[in-house]
């Protein structure tokens, strides 16, 4: 799928020398911290909850207490498989931009934030040494565990916060269909790369989530290409209409009339799409001093809704380098 062009000039930067495909619009900035405009989202009692890719969890409610998210229903959405494949491809592409070869990533232990039913996971895990997934929905994780039976894949019911590095040293709920209350300690408390696909637009407060991600990154322990937080989000091309804002408005009206399908399922979106420049600024405001973003392709989740530019981001703290 072709991405929309972004004509904003790329600023000078002192991060890694990247090899970009200039058929896609991009912004990147590894030099000036807190560059450009950014806004801090609403606080939710200090908690930041990791969300499943592409489905509308409400981050003000911890750990999906009513079990309302249906893994089978999500997987059956018209564009879910294609969007998952695009997200996984975008993750691997971003790693290539920082010089991480296929052989290098096969040594990486991956943390997936907001795994949902595992659509992106299924595309990612063959390319990594191991994958640990977290989500706030037990229903999603039960579906996840039923579909992804591999010794290299583990999962926990968990929302990220500053205490996550300590929490990962203790048993956490790791539900399966036969053992919904099962507890297992995550296999490690440090990871080489963390990913989040279509998660951040559901998060009202980024501060705790970002602290959790940073605390769980190993800082490139396996290789100096490690230590990155990489993800996909709803994107917007500089100067063009925000497609997601229209979806949010439409979703709200549809939800008021009882609609449960299509964009109405995204009524819990906390913010609209971001340009690459806005994403970079946001990441820098939470302590990442290397941050990059590009528009790469389009996400087409619902047949009745317009495609949304696919925003890919990757960031790390400079101190994470070896």
- The domain locations on the chain are 48-320
| Average pLDDT, integer, range 12-26 | 36
Q: Scanning the structure block, which residue is given the tokens 């659509």?
A: 119
Whether the pLDDT of residue 282 is over 90: the answer is: yes
**Position 304 confidence tier, pLDDT thresholds 50, 70, 90:** confident
Residue 255, class by beta-carbon neighbours within 10 Å (0-12 exposed, 13-18 middle, 19+ buried)?
middle
- What per-residue confidence (pLDDT) applies to 68? 55
Phi, psi of 145, deg, nearest 5: -65, -30
- What per-residue confidence (pLDDT) applies to 121? 97
| Average pLDDT, integer, range 130-146 | 94
**Position 251 confidence tier, pLDDT thresholds 50, 70, 90:** low
- CA dist 23 and 41 (Å) reads 32
Apex CA 151: angle with CA 149 and CA 152, to 5°?
Answer: 105
The most confident of the ranges 67-71, 127-131, 249-253, 297-301 is: 127-131
**Position 303 confidence tier, pLDDT thresholds 50, 70, 90:** confident
Lookup: tokens for 319:
């101190």
pLDDT in tens, 191-240: 999 999 999 988 888 999 999 999 999 864 444 667 999 999 999 998 88
DSSP 239: T
- What per-residue confidence (pLDDT) applies to 105? 94
- CA dist 250 and 248 (Å) reads 5
Strands (E) located in the chain: 26-29, 109-113, 130-135, 153-157, 172-173, 183-184, 193-197, 228-234, 290-299, 308-316
Among 143-157, 212-226, 279-293, the minimum mean pLDDT is found in: 212-226
Length of the chain: 322
- CA dist 82 and 90 (Å) reads 12
What's 48-320's CATH class?
alpha beta
- What per-residue confidence (pLDDT) applies to 301? 76
- CA dist 104 and 107 (Å) reads 6
- CA dist 42 and 34 (Å) reads 19
Complete DSSP assignment for 120-171 = HHHHHGGGSSEEEEEES-HHHHHHHHHH---TTEEEEE----TTHHHHTTS-
pTM attached to this predicted model: 0.76
Lookup: tokens for 279:
């994403």
**Position 300 confidence tier, pLDDT thresholds 50, 70, 90:** confident
Residues with Cβ < 8 Å from 221, sequence gap 6 or more? 190, 192
Element (H, E) at 305: none
**Position 72 confidence tier, pLDDT thresholds 50, 70, 90:** low
| Average pLDDT, integer, range 90-109 | 95
Percent of the chain clearing pLDDT 90 (strictly above): 54
Average pLDDT score, the chain: 76
Lookup: tokens for 52:
């499943």
- CA dist 44 and 61 (Å) reads 9
- What per-residue confidence (pLDDT) applies to 79? 80
- What per-residue confidence (pLDDT) applies to 47? 37
Percent of the chain clearing pLDDT 70 (strictly above): 65
Of the two residues 306 and 105, the one the predictor is more confident about is 105
């Amino acid at each position: 799928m072709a991405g929309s062009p972004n004509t904003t000039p790329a600023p000078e930067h002192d991060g890694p020398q990247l090899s970009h495909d200039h058929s896609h619009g991009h912004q990147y900035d590894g030099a000036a911290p807190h560059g450009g405009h950014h806004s801090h989202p609403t606080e939710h009692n200090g908690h930041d909850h990791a969300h499943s890719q592409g489905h509308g969890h409400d981050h003000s409610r911890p750990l999906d207490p009513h079990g309302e998210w249906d893994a089978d229903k999500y997987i059956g959405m018209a564009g879910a498989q294609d969007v998952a494949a695009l997200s996984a491809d975008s993750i691997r592409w971003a790693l290539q931009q920082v010089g991480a070869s296929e052989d290098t990533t096969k040594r990486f232990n991956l943390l997936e934030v907001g795994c949902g039913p595992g659509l992106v996971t299924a595309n990612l895990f063959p390319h990594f040494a191991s994958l640990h997934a977290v989500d706030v929905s037990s229903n999603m994780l039960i579906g996840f565990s039923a579909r992804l039976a591999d010794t290299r894949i583990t999962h926990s019911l968990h929302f990220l916060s500053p205490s996550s590095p300590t929490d990962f040293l203790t048993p956490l709920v790791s539900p399966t269909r036969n053992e919904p209350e099962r507890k297992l300690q995550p296999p490690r408390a440090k990871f080489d790369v963390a990913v989040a696909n279509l998660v951040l637009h559901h998060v009202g407060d980024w501060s705790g989530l970002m602290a959790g991600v940073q605390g769980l990154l190993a800082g490139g322990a396996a290789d100096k290409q490690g230590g990155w937080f990489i993800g996909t989000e709803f994107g917007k091309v500089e100067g063009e209409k925000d497609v997601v804002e229209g979806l949010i408005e439409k979703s709200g009206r549809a939800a008021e009339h009882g609609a449960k399908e299509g964009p109405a399922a995204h009524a819990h979106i906390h913010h609209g799409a971001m340009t690459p420049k806005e994403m970079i600024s946001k990441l820098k405001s939470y302590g990442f001093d290397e941050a990059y973003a590009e528009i790469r392709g389009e996400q087409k989740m619902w047949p009745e809704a317009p495609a949304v530019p696919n925003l890919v981001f990757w960031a790390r703290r400079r101190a994470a380098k070896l």
